[in-house]
Structure 1
Amino acid sequence: MSYDLIAILMFAGMMALLLTGQRVFGAIGFIAAVFALLLWGTGGGEIPFSAAMKLMKWYALLTLPLFIYMGYMLSESGIADDLYKMFHVWFGPVRGGLAIGTILLMVVISAMNGLSVAGMAIGATIALPELLRRNYDKVMVTGVIQAGSSLGILVPPSVVLVLYAMIARQPVGQLWLAGVFPGLMMAGMFIAYIAIRCWLQPSLGPTLSREERDVPLGEKLRLLTAGILPFLIFLSMTGLFVAGKTSLVESSAIGAIGATVAAAVRRKLTTKVMRDTIQKTLAVSCMFMWIIVAALGFGAVFDGLGAVKAIERFFVQDLGLTPWEILILMQISYLVMGMFLDDTAMLVIVAPLYVPLVKALGFDLIWYGVLYTITCQIAYMTPPFGYNLFLMRAMAPPQITIHDIYKSIVPFVLVMMFALAVVMAFPEIALWLPHHFYIRG
């Protein structure tokens, strides 16, 4: 049996197990272990051990639990509630203003957390009930929260970009900077869509009543202070790292400490908040670690078969595709896998195969990291099995049906696909800031 056929069987077997509903790390790790033993006998048992040791020595992975802890501490301590009240008061007089404020809230939450799950949880529990209570269209606001939460994996400090940096061996600081303009551009496109839609159909996003809008200027200014603590935490964490004053791990530690201090200053650092934050941090961190261990083992077997070279030969020589056609096929494959996998699983499975090919085709790996992340955002929201669709279904109130959820994401997916096309056509949108900063700095 040829190595090419073995590689195809490995990938097909893994996808078949995932379709049965098995846990991601179990499906990946099982296929890796079985094929390692079949190919190399008892010596293949060293592969999962080596993967675990490689993970333990991966010092930069300390950033994951620290970033996750920071995000959950800020959300569990109620700081996100205060931020929403601020946007609620300032944008209430505008048609669709609360939906626009929700997108801005998601941008801030993304800058505090780096995960889409946290944004979804905050949007569904804080923003969604308020929007529905004020007669906002349930289909539109469901899409707003799903689209806004997807920004968490693009706006720095994105955890997904940290993982991509480790696998692609690219500087995290440059990837974070590369995600800034595309993330803000996409948020701006969401806001423009909401504003235009609500201007054409005012019933979708009515303004607040005069009583709710009648807030003294002093109170409005006081509410603006809700954004000071998150901004200071973000600035101290990413600013020091980008300036070269701290390492990535040190920056994540500063963020975690800053979030804890912020909760204490606001007198929200209770035993329950600390317990819930630690439990959620451990749960998410362990999920990441198990997936990475399994994927490292899978990648080691795949690489041992020469699968990366086989893929390159198949695309370039056998099919005769151009580099851009190959790149588009890669993005399509991410959309398909996004129906079954989350962004982390897709990254650790496919990136070790695609990154060398992208480099061989002459594309910039920093730019490709942004393309991958945007494609994951789209895959998260693509029916029938997009990850965000089921998260929303689990968190939404009963009056929002699965049909409403599927219908709600259509315009936002189209906006995101347009944003992806823009970044592909104009790479400088992603590359200007990191190149300008690192070359000039």
Structure 2
Amino acid sequence: MPYELIAILMFSSMMLMLMTGQRVFGAIGGIAALAALALWGTGGSTIPFAAAMKVMKWYPMLTLPMFIFMGYILSESKIAEDLYRMFHVWMGPINGGLAIGTIGLMVLVSAMNGLSVAGMAIGATIALPELLRRGYDKRMVTGVIQAGSSLGILVPPSVVLVLYAMIARQPVGQLWLAGVVPGLMMAAMFIVYIYIRCKVQPELGPALKEEERSVTKAEKYRLLLAGLLPLGIFFTMMIPFLKGWTSLVESSAIGALAAMAAAILKGRMTREVFEVSVRNTLAISCMFMWIVLAALGFGAVFDGLGAVKAIDNLFTEQLGLSPWTILILMQLSFLLMGTFLDDTAMLVIVAPLYVPLVKVLGFDLVWYGVLYTITTQIAYMTPPFGYNLFLMRAMAPKEIGLRDIYSSIIPFVMVMVVALALLMMFPNIAMWLPDLVYGK
């Protein structure tokens, strides 16, 4: 059987397994193990062992549990609620102000946790009830929370970019810096859209009533300091790393310790908060480790088959497609897969195939990592089966139906498509900051 046909059979078998509801690491790792044994006999058993050794030797992998723990401490200790209270007081007097504040909340939550699901959970439990209670349009606020949560895998410390760095063999620090400007640009574009839309249609986002705005200046500044605490933790962690004083792992430990110190100083570090944070950190870290292990094993089999060279030859030599056409087709495939897979699963599935192909086509892998995150988040929110849509439905109150959730996301997806197009046309949007810091 030709190796190209074996590669297609592996990929289609894996997709079939995933569509039947199997666990991501089980489907990917199982197909890789079966293919390795069928192709190379008992010698194929060394592939998962070699993949495990790669994971164990990759020192930056230690950042994952640190960042996840930091996010859970800040979330479980209700420090994220202080953020929303700050935005509520400072942004409430303008039309759409609370929705704009919610975007700001999502940016800071992203800097706390690095997971889009965390932003969705905090937005749906803290911001959504408050926005609905104050007369905001249900479709507007549902779209705001979904769009804001998409920043979680782009703004550092993005956990997904750490996984991408592991699989693509790229520096985590450069990937994080590459995500900063596109992430802030996208947040700014969301804010501009909300402001203009609520200016034209004030009933979508009414300003707070006078009696709700009657807060003393001293109270406003106290809330400002309390709300900006997570931002202070973020800078405490990132500045030593960017200055070269600490390694990435050391900075992640600083972030975790700073989050614990903040919770202790505010009197919120209870035994329950600590236990829940540790349990959730262990569960998510183990899940990511298994997924990375499966992805590396699958990638090793693909490399052994020479599948990347065969696909490159098919597209460039036989079909005569340009590198940019191939790249756009790859991005469209993300949109298709996003209808039934989450961002981590998409990365693990396509990384063995796409990352080497992107390199062969001559594109920068750091830039492509940012391109990947934006594209998958668009796919994550695209009807009819976007993963984020169903998460939102599970968390939203009964008065918000699936039709509302579908229609709410359309304008925000259009904004994200514009941001993606700008990033493709002007790669320096992503590469300017890492080139500046690392002196390229």
- The amino acid across from 1:303 in the alignment is D
Moved more, 21-30 or 185-194: 21-30
3-state SS of paired residue (1:372): helix
- Deviation of 1:351 (Å): 2.0
Q: Which residue of 2 aligns with 1:253?
A: 253
The answer to whether the 8 Å contact 1:139/1:408 transfers is yes
The answer to whether the 8 Å contact 2:233/2:259 transfers is yes
Alpha-carbon distance between aligned partners in 1 of 2:273 and 2:194, rounded to the nearest angstrom: 34
Alpha-carbon distance between aligned partners in 2 of 1:381 and 1:79, rounded to the nearest angstrom: 27
Q: Which residue of 2 aligns with 1:232?
A: 232
- The amino acid across from 1:226 in the alignment is A
Q: Which residue of 2 aligns with 1:356?
A: 356
Alpha-carbon distance between aligned partners in 2 of 1:192 and 1:401, rounded to the nearest angstrom: 26
Alpha-carbon distance between aligned partners in 2 of 1:196 and 1:145, rounded to the nearest angstrom: 18
The answer to whether the 8 Å contact 2:95/2:207 transfers is yes
Q: Which residue of 2 aligns with 1:433?
A: 433
The answer to whether the 8 Å contact 1:32/1:298 transfers is yes
1:256-295 matches, within 5 Å, as 256-295=256-295
Q: Which structure 2 segments of 5+ residues have no match? A: none
Alpha-carbon distance between aligned partners in 1 of 2:362 and 2:37, rounded to the nearest angstrom: 36
User: Does 2:337 match 1:310?
Assistant: no
The answer to whether the 8 Å contact 1:66/1:256 transfers is yes
1:100-119 matches, within 5 Å, as 100-119=100-119
Alpha-carbon distance between aligned partners in 2 of 1:242 and 1:115, rounded to the nearest angstrom: 22
Q: Supply the RMSD in Å over aligned alpha carbons.
A: 1.3
- Deviation of 1:276 (Å): 1.1
Structure 1 ranges of 4+ moved more than 3 A: none
Q: Which residue of 2 aligns with 1:131?
A: 131
- Deviation of 1:247 (Å): 1.0
1:333-412 matches, within 5 Å, as 333-412=333-412
Alpha-carbon distance between aligned partners in 2 of 1:384 and 1:286, rounded to the nearest angstrom: 31
Alpha-carbon distance between aligned partners in 2 of 1:356 and 1:398, rounded to the nearest angstrom: 46
- The amino acid across from 1:335 in the alignment is L
Alpha-carbon distance between aligned partners in 2 of 1:392 and 1:377, rounded to the nearest angstrom: 14
- Deviation of 1:170 (Å): 2.0
- Percent of residue pairs identical: 74
Q: Which residue of 2 aligns with 1:180?
A: 180
Alpha-carbon distance between aligned partners in 2 of 1:116 and 1:301, rounded to the nearest angstrom: 31
Alpha-carbon distance between aligned partners in 2 of 1:235 and 1:364, rounded to the nearest angstrom: 28
- Deviation of 1:183 (Å): 0.6
- Deviation of 1:167 (Å): 2.1
Q: Which digits, 9 at most, give the CA deviation of each residue in 1:380-436, with x for residues without a partner?
A: 111222221121112111111122111111111111011000111111111111112
Q: Which residue of 2 aligns with 1:166?
A: 166
- The amino acid across from 2:77 in the alignment is S
- Deviation of 1:49 (Å): 2.7
State TM-score, norm by structure 1: 0.97
- Deviation of 1:123 (Å): 0.2
Q: Which digits, 9 at most, give the CA deviation of each residue in 1:166-204, with x for residues without a partner?
A: 222222222111111111110011011111111111111
Alpha-carbon distance between aligned partners in 2 of 1:84 and 1:173, rounded to the nearest angstrom: 29
Q: Which residue of 2 aligns with 1:30?
A: 30
Q: Which structure 1 segments of 5+ residues have no match? A: none
Q: Which digits, 9 at most, give the CA deviation of each residue in 1:300-336, with x for residues without a partner?
A: 1111111111111111111111111011111111111
The answer to whether the 8 Å contact 1:24/1:341 transfers is no
The answer to whether the 8 Å contact 1:18/1:340 transfers is no
Alpha-carbon distance between aligned partners in 2 of 1:352 and 1:292, rounded to the nearest angstrom: 11
- Deviation of 1:47 (Å): 2.1
Alpha-carbon distance between aligned partners in 1 of 2:138 and 2:229, rounded to the nearest angstrom: 32
Moved more, 39-48 or 198-207: 39-48
Alpha-carbon distance between aligned partners in 1 of 2:294 and 2:355, rounded to the nearest angstrom: 19
Alpha-carbon distance between aligned partners in 1 of 2:60 and 2:438, rounded to the nearest angstrom: 21
- Deviation of 1:288 (Å): 0.8
The answer to whether the 8 Å contact 2:80/2:109 transfers is yes
State TM-score, norm by structure 2: 0.97
3-state SS of paired residue (1:256): helix
User: Does 2:19 match 1:5?
Assistant: no
- The amino acid across from 1:217 in the alignment is K
- Deviation of 1:362 (Å): 1.9
- The amino acid across from 2:111 in the alignment is A
The answer to whether the 8 Å contact 1:110/1:152 transfers is yes
Alpha-carbon distance between aligned partners in 2 of 1:136 and 1:434, rounded to the nearest angstrom: 39
Q: Which residue of 2 aligns with 1:41?
A: 41
- The amino acid across from 2:36 in the alignment is A
Q: Which residue of 2 aligns with 1:220?
A: 220
3-state SS of paired residue (1:409): helix
Q: Which residue of 1 aligns with 2:89?
A: 89
Q: Which residue of 2 aligns with 1:142?
A: 142
Alpha-carbon distance between aligned partners in 1 of 2:206 and 2:228, rounded to the nearest angstrom: 29
- The amino acid across from 1:69 in the alignment is F
- The amino acid across from 1:92 in the alignment is G
Q: Which residue of 1 aligns with 2:76?
A: 76
- The amino acid across from 2:204 in the alignment is L
The answer to whether the 8 Å contact 1:295/1:348 transfers is yes
Alpha-carbon distance between aligned partners in 2 of 1:29 and 1:424, rounded to the nearest angstrom: 33
| Shift in CA distance, 392/274, structure 1 to aligned 2, threshold 3 Å | same
The answer to whether the 8 Å contact 2:379/2:386 transfers is yes
The answer to whether the 8 Å contact 1:66/1:252 transfers is yes
Alpha-carbon distance between aligned partners in 2 of 1:295 and 1:356, rounded to the nearest angstrom: 14
| Shift in CA distance, 152/431, structure 1 to aligned 2, threshold 3 Å | same
- Deviation of 1:349 (Å): 2.5
The number of equivalent residue pairs is 440
| Shift in CA distance, 169/50, structure 1 to aligned 2, threshold 3 Å | closer
- Deviation of 1:58 (Å): 2.2
3-state SS of paired residue (1:54): helix
The answer to whether the 8 Å contact 2:85/2:227 transfers is no
Moved more, 335-344 or 314-323: 335-344
Alpha-carbon distance between aligned partners in 2 of 1:57 and 1:429, rounded to the nearest angstrom: 33
Alpha-carbon distance between aligned partners in 2 of 1:225 and 1:403, rounded to the nearest angstrom: 39
